[in-house]
Amino acid sequence: MKTTKTNNLRRAALAFALILAGSTISFAQCDKPVKLTSSVTNYINDKGEVERTKAEQTVIILSKTELTITPGDHMMNGNVTEYTCNWTTPFKDGKTIAKAVLTDGNNDLHVTITIEGKAGKVTLTFVAEEEAGKKIQVVADKFE
């Protein structure tokens, strides 16, 4: 009887350790800056339709405190004001939402960035309050 209780306790401890290890990996992704690289940008109208597609190298670097977006040779950066992150499988399944104020030349843009992974496909959607109804979306070629 004691052997069964000991085995059950060991199994429970092992299961807890595996869950904790998986959670730590997910939190590790959320605690460090991520870099998303894309080669195509989609511009979406207020009806959810793609208005145009542009082949361009875009790099997005996001941390809990800073956001940098570089489409082509144009760079915008700013401070993150809100940040939520929840990935069940790092870099494959989950979601990060960040709100930031980006500086674009002399203009400030109040943006919401949503990075979402489903079955290994990672997309980033960019919405600026100043551009109501319009979205910019990229699919990650590389996400790290």
Kindly list the structural domains of the chain, giving each domain's residue range(s) and its CATH number in brackets, ordered by start.
Answer: 32-143 (2.40.128)
pLDDT band at 37 (very low <50, low <70, confident <90, very high): very high
Mean pLDDT value of segment 87-108: 90
Instruction: Sort 99 into a burial class: Cβ within 10 Å, 0-12 / 13-18 / 19+.
Output: middle
How many angstroms separate the CA atoms of 88 and 30, rounded?
Answer: 11
The pLDDT assigned to 11 comes to 58
Q: Cα separations (Å) of 122 from 59, 78, 85, 94? A: 14, 23, 14, 9
Residue 55: is its pLDDT beyond 70?
yes
Say which residue, 91 or 129, is predicted with more confidence.
129
User: Measured in Å, how far apart are the chain's first and last C-alpha atoms?
Assistant: 49
